[in-house]
Amino acid sequence: MLQVKSFTFNPFQENTYILYDHTKKAVIIDPGCYEKGEKETLTSFIKSEGLQPVRLLNTHCHIDHVLGNYFINQTYGLPLEIHPQDEQVLNAVPTYASNYGFPLFSSCPVGSFINEGDEIKFGETTLEVIWVPGHAPGHVVFYHAESKTCIGGDTLFQGSIGRTDLPGGDHQTLLTAIKEKLFTLPDDVKVYPGHGPATLIGHEKIYNPFVGQNAQF
């Protein structure tokens, strides 16, 4: 059975996720830990649960989602996996990290690329990679069909969607991608977003003011 553990890190209140199953193999998604205490919180949980991290994944590469990449890479020896269209986004982070208050940011090189339709395997669990661009050009989500779980990054939020005014963002692209990629999932799929509380696909299809049935924007 898939287990999802979330942590909220850094001033952007970003959600970092650890997914694991009964084998204790785990994947770390969007590590946003920057301060020493945040890093200790993450590693303490991994140690207390007896987990073995085996993959490091980013839904996308904006600064708040990649602050802990280097730490995870160095601590657990995991190569970073991202969509190829977000490599440029990742490479830009060092140019503005200090301006956002992260002078000690360290870059983590890409280990390999993941694309839509790829399978992320760990333990006895398989996640499907779904490309949902618009917030970032190489934004992906990770979907576990068996448990109806979606790690959604900054695509779909409870009552909102990801911002599209950053470089590489496009509002209409995101709206279309949500409707064609996420809203075709079962209504009872639980979406764990990059910020804020989890939500359900079916709820957002009706009530989301940007992409719901009665969209206002």
The pLDDT tens digits of the residues spanning 77-129 come to 999 999 999 999 999 999 999 999 999 999 999 999 999 999 999 999 999 99
Is the residue at 202 inside a domain?
yes
Of the candidates 53, 10, 3, 49, the one whose C-alpha atom is nearest the C-alpha of residue 194 is 10
CA pair distance 179, 60, nearest whole angstrom = 19
Domain that holds residue 126: 3-207
Any idea what the CATH number is for the domain that residue 39 is in? Answer: 3.60.15.10
Domain count for the chain, please give it. Answer: 1
**217 lies in a domain?**
no
The Cα-based distances of 16 to 53, 195, 213 in angstroms read 14, 9, 30
Q: d(Cα 182, Cα 157) in Å, to the nearest integer?
A: 12
Residue 213 lies inside a defined structural domain of this protein? no
Token pair for 1: 């059975």
Whether 125 maps to a domain, the answer reads yes
Q: What phi and psi values does residue 150 have, to the nearest 5 degrees?
A: -130, 120
pLDDT digits (tens, 9 = 90+) for 125-181: 999 999 999 999 999 999 999 999 999 999 999 999 999 999 999 999 999 999 999
Q: What is the mean pLDDT of the chain?
A: 98
